[in-house]
């Protein structure tokens, strides 16, 4: 993206809506508000995918995407074009309501179809925003899940937003939402226009190390070949972006401990 003039093409933002209420949902309406704020700054082209309408059945857990390749997914006719859309977008937004203090089954199921992208991430430099909508609470775990997922796919998660839909009739809350959507719009645009790779948070660094440990033990697999071709098997992170020395040292130390535990069979059952 050309940061000098904001780019001549509208920014293409792909949005996945995880509410079964589609365009009626607050999840959608709040993201439309972010869209409107972004459009005030720079031309944008938002594309909304209502996950309910994609027709994706429950992931059957065959793991073909991970072990054979994404093309082997029984639902590849649906998943493949969605992956192409994500590839082509300048930015991604993942939005989920909060149902029983978790993300909706719809968005969880959608993310399961992209499990392979956690093993073979590719969205480096792609900026993402994640949102969660509850009537009251449960935002943290949903935002953590969505951020962790987008980040494991390679995205830089620019920011996150949690909305309390029961408050949306109150003028004081609406004012705050207005201010925060303006801030998010500016941040999202600035980060996309900068076009720089983001420095990973510690969690992303540890996720990289865990995937690295796992992939090193999968010689001959599609994941191993993917990692080998990118020189990731002995790397400190997927990209050459600068990482704080403390985070790098801690991640390396924990990864070595994890490797030793796995080798010696010292892994404990979780209680």
Segment lying near ligand FMN (by CB under 6 A), choices 34-42, 44-52, 64-72, 93-101: 93-101
Q: Min. distance of Cβ 171 from ligand FMN in angstroms?
A: 19
Locate tokens 């535990």: which residue? 261
202-216 and 139-152 helices cross at what angle (nearest 10)?
Answer: 50
User: Residue 92 pairs with which residues in a beta bridge?
Assistant: 14, 128
Residue from the set 99, 127, 160, 209 that interacts with ligand FMN by CB under 6 A: 99
Please identify, using beta-carbon distances, which residue of 34 and 247 lies nearer to ligand FMN.
34
Q: Min. distance of Cβ 134 from ligand FMN in angstroms?
A: 3
Q: Min. distance of Cβ 166 from ligand FMN in angstroms?
A: 8
Q: Is 107 in the site for ligand FMN (CB under 6 A)?
A: no
Residue from the set 53, 62, 81, 101 that interacts with ligand FMN by CB under 6 A: 101
- Tokens representing residue 44 in the block: 């944008």
Q: Is 32 in the site for ligand FMN (CB under 6 A)?
A: no
What is the torsional sign of CA 233, 237, 238, 241?
negative
User: Helix or strand or coil: residue 255?
Assistant: helix
Asked whether the beta carbons of 252 and 210 are under 8 A apart, the reply is: no
Residues 163-202 that bind ligand FMN (CB under 6 A): 165
Residue from the set 51, 82, 92, 134 that interacts with ligand FMN by CB under 6 A: 134
Segment lying near ligand FMN (by CB under 6 A), choices 19-27, 48-56, 110-118, 195-203: 19-27
- Tokens representing residue 224 in the block: 């191993």
Please identify, using beta-carbon distances, which residue of 66 and 130 lies nearer to ligand FMN.
130
Q: Is 19 in the site for ligand FMN (CB under 6 A)?
A: yes
Asked whether the beta carbons of 156 and 90 are under 8 A apart, the reply is: no
Asked whether the beta carbons of 7 and 1 are under 8 A apart, the reply is: yes
Q: Min. distance of Cβ 129 from ligand FMN in angstroms?
A: 15
Q: Is 142 in the site for ligand FMN (CB under 6 A)?
A: no
Quote helix, strand, coil % in the chain, to nearest 5: 50, 15, 30
How deeply is 231 buried, as exposed, middle or buried, from its count of CB atoms within 10 A (0-12, 13-18, 19+)? exposed
Residues that bind ligand FMN (CB under 6 A): 19, 21, 25-27, 97-101, 133-138, 165
């Amino acid at each position: 993206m050309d940061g000098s003039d904001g780019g001549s093409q509208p920014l293409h933002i792909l949005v996945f809506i995880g509410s079964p209420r589609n365009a009626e949902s607050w999840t959608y309406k709040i993201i439309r508000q972010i869209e409107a704020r972004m459009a005030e700054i720079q031309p944008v082209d938002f594309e909304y995918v209502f996950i309910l309408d994609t027709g994706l059945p429950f992931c059957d857990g065959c793991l073909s995407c991970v072990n054979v390749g994404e093309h082997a997914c029984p639902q590849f006719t649906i998943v493949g074009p969605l992956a192409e859309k994500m590839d082509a977008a300048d930015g991604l937004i993942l939005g989920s309501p909060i149902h029983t203090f978790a993300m909706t089954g719809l968005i969880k199921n959608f993310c399961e179809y992209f499990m392979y992208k956690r093993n073979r991430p590719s969205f480096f430099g792609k900026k993402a925003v994640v949102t969660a909508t509850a009537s009251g609470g449960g935002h943290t775990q949903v935002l953590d899940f969505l951020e962790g997922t987008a980040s494991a796919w390679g995205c830089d998660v620019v920011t996150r937003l949690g909305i309390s839909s029961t408050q949306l009739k109150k003028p004081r809350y609406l004012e705050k939402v207005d201010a925060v959507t303006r801030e998010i719009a500016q941040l999202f645009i600035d980060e996309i226009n900068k076009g720089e790779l983001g420095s990973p948070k510690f969690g992303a660094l540890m996720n990289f190390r865990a995937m690295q440990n796992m992939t090193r033990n999968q010689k001959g697999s599609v994941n191993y070949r993917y990692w080998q071709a990118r020189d990731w098997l002995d790397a400190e992170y997927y990209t050459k972006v600068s990482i704080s020395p403390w985070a790098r040292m801690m991640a390396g130390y924990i990864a070595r401990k994890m490797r030793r535990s796995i080798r010696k069979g010292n892994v404990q059952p979780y209680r």
